[in-house]
A and B are shown apart, each in its own frame.
Chain A
């Protein structure tokens, strides 16, 4: 199985390559990708240098162009695809069917991967994208159990790629409106979930209160591990109880299930985290590469140290081991 690793800047890209990535995925410095955060991402020149660096070491480069095109501004997304193709991206990761159609039409040789943002999670949806746009791989949403991943992988005509480590998003990705509700901006259209421009941290005595778009969404006592300031990770009061209504501030870690994923026929394992620093990328990629090369009994000890760099400093195997419903 390929190891697909994140990079938000050139330094992180080199770290990912050096640490053992089979492919590194990144995005351009604009709203065409779902990590459109300030100070992050690649100019075309930086991207060109990154591709050259990766290629010289036998590593592939994928480009996430995985937001949905804004009506009237499609040229920005078309240009991103044209640039990625011209520089030699090994795959473009797309969510918008209009952009897939453009890519398939203008660049029929270009390999298309279906982004998790496309929320293609059943054989009909995946089959359609493969048939209509010659997509070669689908990145599966983080809402499927291991048996569901195996069943889907066996029934679609494309490769499957699954998240195994990093940020935990159990929403219908590409369709989640929580960020839009609070801020007017979304990862789907603007490339930003809970944009920093709408985040504020306030002191309330010794506690820290996180706010998004004017809504207080969590309160952390001194020393209590924190999470990202997203509505889905917030603590709210409802039905007389207070707690994390949507999900806990916690990271995905499916590394106990590597053998099951391999047996399921999964082609690639993805690490989330283009917004993280190069130190995180280096540590996570090298650790997971070691775990992949190690016998199953040794893996847990190898990856245990990654918990300290995870959101909420806790990890879960999430829906892969679905115990609800």
Chain B
């Protein structure tokens, strides 16, 4: 799985965290609202704190599903229940269930740490949800939904074309 071009990473480096957090919250809230079954499959693990570190981006994310909270940070804090790191596209592909988490682990493209039950529950829950990011984002974009969906699908198609996703 390809990494983001380093130019893209550099360009995002000065982006203020509140802006990144707002964008992430927009996507996260949309997914949680449209997929209540995610919490069901997570079971007790929904109360855990998860960290996601895209290794090709200058920031990371901390998520608490039960609280419906997502936070953008420069570095993941130590006080997490579980964490996963890997290329941004790999993490997005896992979110959409387009790749198999075990395969990414076997090839060492992603690394996991902390509470493996929580990580496994989240991976399995996401895999079943059928998350489609363009659709999720469009659903939260009001009248701009169709435009958002088309734009996201174009970006994803280009990523898929380049073999960077799966």
Interface residues of B in 82-131 (CB under 8 A from A): 97-103, 105-108, 111-113, 116-125, 127-130
For B117, give its contact among A196, A208, A311 (CB under 8 Å).
Answer: A196
Interface residues of A in 194-227 (CB under 8 A from B): 195-197, 199-203, 208, 220, 222-227
Interface residues of A in 1-50 (CB under 8 A from B): 8-12, 37-40
Q: Are A39 and B42 in contact (CB under 8 A)?
A: yes
Q: Are B125 and A275 in contact (CB under 8 A)?
A: no
Q: Are A313 and B106 in contact (CB under 8 A)?
A: yes
A38-B124, A196-B120, A200-B116 as given contacts; A277 in contact with B43, CB under 8 Å = no
B84 to A: closest C-beta gap in Å: 11
A299 within 8 A of B: no
The CA of A52 and the CA of B124, in the complex, are separated in Å by 22
Q: Are B127 and A224 in contact (CB under 8 A)?
A: no
Q: Are A201 and B117 in contact (CB under 8 A)?
A: no
Q: Are A225 and B108 in contact (CB under 8 A)?
A: yes
Chain A: residues with Cβ within 8 Å of the partner, total of: 39
A310 within 8 A of B: yes
Q: Can you offer 28 A-B residue contacts whose CB atoms are under 8 A?
A: A8-B127, A9-B124, A11-B130, A39-B41, A39-B120, A39-B121, A39-B124, A196-B116, A197-B117, A199-B116, A201-B116, A203-B113, A208-B108, A208-B111, A225-B106, A226-B106, A275-B102, A276-B103, A277-B97, A277-B100, A277-B102, A277-B127, A279-B100, A280-B103, A283-B100, A308-B103, A309-B106, A311-B102
Total number of A-B contacts with CB less than 8 angstroms?
100
B45 within 8 A of A: yes
Q: Are A8 and B124 in contact (CB under 8 A)?
A: yes
B140 within 8 A of A: no
A278 within 8 A of B: yes
A312 within 8 A of B: yes
**Chain B residue nearest in CB terms to A283:** B100
A39-B121, A311-B106 as given contacts; A11 in contact with B127, CB under 8 Å = yes
B166 within 8 A of A: yes
Counting chain A CB atoms within 10 Å of each CB, the highest count among B97, B98, B111, B128 belongs to B128
The CA of A40 and the CA of B98, in the complex, are separated in Å by 17
Residues in B whose Cβ lies below 8 Å from that of A40: 124
A interface list, Cβ under 8 A from B:
8-12, 37-40, 195-197, 199-203, 208, 220, 222-228, 275-280, 283, 308-313
Q: Are A220 and B108 in contact (CB under 8 A)?
A: yes
Interface size class of B (residues with CB under 8 A): 20 to 34
A204 to B: closest C-beta gap in Å: 13
Residues in A whose Cβ lies below 8 Å from that of B101: 277
- 12 more contacts with CB within 8 A, not counting A9-B128, A38-B124, A39-B120, are A10-B128, A39-B41, A39-B42, A196-B119, A201-B113, A201-B116, A222-B108, A226-B105, A277-B100, A277-B127, A279-B99, A309-B106
The CA of A39 and the CA of B106, in the complex, are separated in Å by 20
Q: Are A38 and B120 in contact (CB under 8 A)?
A: yes
For A276, give its contact among B100, B116, B118, B119 (CB under 8 Å).
Answer: B100
The CA of A280 and the CA of B100, in the complex, are separated in Å by 6
Q: Are B128 and A309 in contact (CB under 8 A)?
A: no
Q: Are B122 and A201 in contact (CB under 8 A)?
A: no
The CA of A38 and the CA of B43, in the complex, are separated in Å by 8
Per CB-CB distance, the 4 closest pairs between chain A and chain B, nearest first, are A39-B124, A280-B100, A38-B121, A39-B121
